[in-house]
A and B are shown apart, each in its own frame.
Chain A
């Protein structure tokens, strides 16, 4: 009896959970579907049809036109994102390592101050940053934008790595020190091989942040150096001629594709990295 009622309630819970998940899925997926469908329609089709109808003629003209307008900016984004992500992850790992395993007087205070960086809104640093970039002669350059992203990302990546490394037993470092390894050897040979999950977290997090960034891009880059997010905005906001929704949607899809792919292929590492205990035994 008890068993039966429990299993009944269980199955009710199951249904409730699945229903909720389905609704959530729909909420997230419907805009994506609308975008995809629209991007494959002809301009006429877009004007006459309903948002959710399938294209009458499947066509790639939207995609081709979008790509020809934004492809330069797409590569700009890559040139900004890849170095920014790698550099900020690497320095974050080194910071986290130093803060957790070579703690010095005031290292905790330093870490707390660094954490502050996670809570500073983008807008606050715009003016001082553009002043600094100007002084460095990096205003309106890709290098400058990379620098901004690295600095802004460091607070997060340091936090990730520091918290991960705190969970790694100190004895490991001690043993390596007695074996004759120095600061960097220990980092390369002992800690980095243990860091795959948190490196994935850091890479994914930083990739999404930097790729999706609009504000820094619009402020610190101009003209042909702009990232795709800015170019997309320009494209959508052009007021000349008729609105080409199919091109807008295709361009938006192109802009979103890299982060989407990162999540599809590396998302499981993200979850695993955030939830895994560090070293067993």
Chain B
């Protein structure tokens, strides 16, 4: 059953010229973890507020657990939310902040105390319980905000960038905690993040947004391997997908693109492209950095593109090597043992099965 269903949700702020949400359609099942990603200002927080009922929507419907809640009061929607701005109550201590929602819902005092202790331990803020929010660092405040939501057991969690202000180590720890907790409680969750790893590791579903529209909605793997358009392809993945301008041609009955690095142009055949489409038109070829590797020595008759190494960036687990192909810089992600010398000529092998092609003007996917 769908736990959360958004039907053509539109929102225009009172004084705004532009629509903030332009017809959002999303549906997730009970227990699923939905990730919202998109550039700043694309409407993620607006959508969260709309789901929570804190902003009225202009049209459309929001259905929670089969019930249309479009006009239901926020407090009756049974939702807990972590706000992007934390929104901690300034005059209350951390303990009171976390307990507030439970108190209002008339939870017995001993249960409240137990619950506060549980989330404080989970979020490593036990030593801060008697402090006021103004006496906390940004990251500590953020964890309190998280604690306030986690203390409750609602039908739906809304997390608006809940880890954005934490240091790298704590962030990884909290990510794991959230994942564990979600596996245990199975509460349906909507989670906004700018972090690629959070998006890929936490989500059952990912919605990529831009300018108030959902560009693609699917599993993280679908979004990563099968981006619907140029925007999604460029937004997901770090380092981002390489985009190489090419022309779609035919050669002995197959569709090909020609790539030129250092030396002659090499024809790469594209098994997924219908020959009818390969009529010499311009296209953008997308390939992820890890789908390129360096060949030492010729194996069979695989077409290899030779190129000169311009920059080498060792990141630790792997090394990013930048070469030039068809006049643009192309990033390859290699194992550190493979690292070539700067200035050397390398032979690149592309994973042709996973190449994607886009139309240059509209950014739409060709194949």
Indicate if A24 sits at the interface (CB-CB under 8 A): no
Indicate if A218 sits at the interface (CB-CB under 8 A): no
Given A171-B83, A179-B101, answer yes or no on A194-B91 (Cβ-Cβ < 8 Å): yes
Q: How far is the CB of A178 from chain B (nearest CB, A)?
A: 5
Whether A169 and B85, one on each chain, are in contact in the complex, defined by CB atoms closer than 8 angstroms, is yes
Q: How far is the CB of B92 from chain A (nearest CB, A)?
A: 8
Q: Which residues of A sit under 8 angstroms from B74, Cβ to Cβ?
A: 174, 177-178
Indicate if B72 sits at the interface (CB-CB under 8 A): no
Indicate if A91 sits at the interface (CB-CB under 8 A): no
Q: Which residues of A sit under 8 angstroms from B75, Cβ to Cβ?
A: 177-182
Given A179-B101, A182-B75, answer yes or no on A193-B91 (Cβ-Cβ < 8 Å): yes
Indicate if B79 sits at the interface (CB-CB under 8 A): yes
Q: Which residues of B sit under 8 angstroms from A171, Cβ to Cβ?
A: 83, 85-87
Q: Which residues of A sit under 8 angstroms from B73, Cβ to Cβ?
A: 177
Which one, B89, B100, B133, B148, contacts A281 given CB within 8 A? B133
Whether B49 and A185, one on each chain, are in contact in the complex, defined by CB atoms closer than 8 angstroms, is no
Q: Which residues of A sit under 8 angstroms from B238, Cβ to Cβ?
A: none
Size band of the interface chain A makes with B = 20 to 34
Q: How far is the CB of B275 from chain A (nearest CB, A)?
A: 56
Whether A175 and B90, one on each chain, are in contact in the complex, defined by CB atoms closer than 8 angstroms, is no
Which one, A169, A178, A194, contacts B54 given CB within 8 A? A178
> Which residues of A183-209 have CB atoms within 8 Å of chain B's CB atoms?
185, 189-190, 193-194
Q: Give A182 to B49 CA distance when docked, in angstroms.
A: 17
Which one, A177, A178, A190, contacts B89 given CB within 8 A? A190
Q: Give A281 to B74 CA distance when docked, in angstroms.
A: 25
Q: Looking at A169, A180, A181, A280, which has the most chain B CB atoms within 10 Å of its CB?
A: A180
Whether A181 and B134, one on each chain, are in contact in the complex, defined by CB atoms closer than 8 angstroms, is no
Indicate if A19 sits at the interface (CB-CB under 8 A): no
Q: How far is the CB of B179 from chain A (nearest CB, A)?
A: 24
Q: Give A172 to B92 CA distance when docked, in angstroms.
A: 12
Indicate if A279 sits at the interface (CB-CB under 8 A): yes
Indicate if A114 sits at the interface (CB-CB under 8 A): no
Whether A280 and B134, one on each chain, are in contact in the complex, defined by CB atoms closer than 8 angstroms, is yes
Indicate if B52 sits at the interface (CB-CB under 8 A): yes
Q: Looking at A177, A185, A280, which has the most chain B CB atoms within 10 Å of its CB?
A: A177
Indicate if B127 sits at the interface (CB-CB under 8 A): no
Q: Which residues of A sit under 8 angstroms from B133, Cβ to Cβ?
A: 281
Indicate if A176 sits at the interface (CB-CB under 8 A): yes
Indicate if B296 sits at the interface (CB-CB under 8 A): no
Indicate if B256 sits at the interface (CB-CB under 8 A): no
Q: Which residues of B sit under 8 angstroms from A176, Cβ to Cβ?
A: 89, 100
Whether B134 and A178, one on each chain, are in contact in the complex, defined by CB atoms closer than 8 angstroms, is no
Q: Give A185 to B101 CA distance when docked, in angstroms.
A: 12
Whether B79 and A178, one on each chain, are in contact in the complex, defined by CB atoms closer than 8 angstroms, is yes
Q: Which residues of A sit under 8 angstroms from B104, Cβ to Cβ?
A: 179-181, 185
A-B contact pairs, 29 of them (CB 8 A): A169-B85, A169-B87, A171-B85, A171-B86, A171-B87, A172-B89, A174-B52, A174-B54, A174-B74, A175-B83, A175-B89, A176-B100, A177-B73, A177-B75, A178-B54, A178-B74, A178-B80, A179-B101, A179-B104, A179-B148, A180-B104, A180-B105, A181-B104, A182-B75, A185-B104, A189-B89, A280-B134, A281-B133, A281-B141
Which residues of A line the B interface, CB within 8 A? 169, 171-172, 174-182, 185, 189-190, 193-194, 279-281
A-B contacts besides A175-B148, A176-B89, A177-B54, 17 pairs, CB < 8 Å: A169-B87, A171-B83, A171-B85, A171-B87, A177-B75, A178-B54, A178-B79, A180-B101, A180-B104, A181-B75, A181-B100, A185-B104, A190-B89, A190-B91, A279-B90, A280-B134, A281-B133
- 5 closest A-B pairs by beta carbon, nearest first, are A179-B101, A171-B87, A193-B91, A175-B87, A180-B104
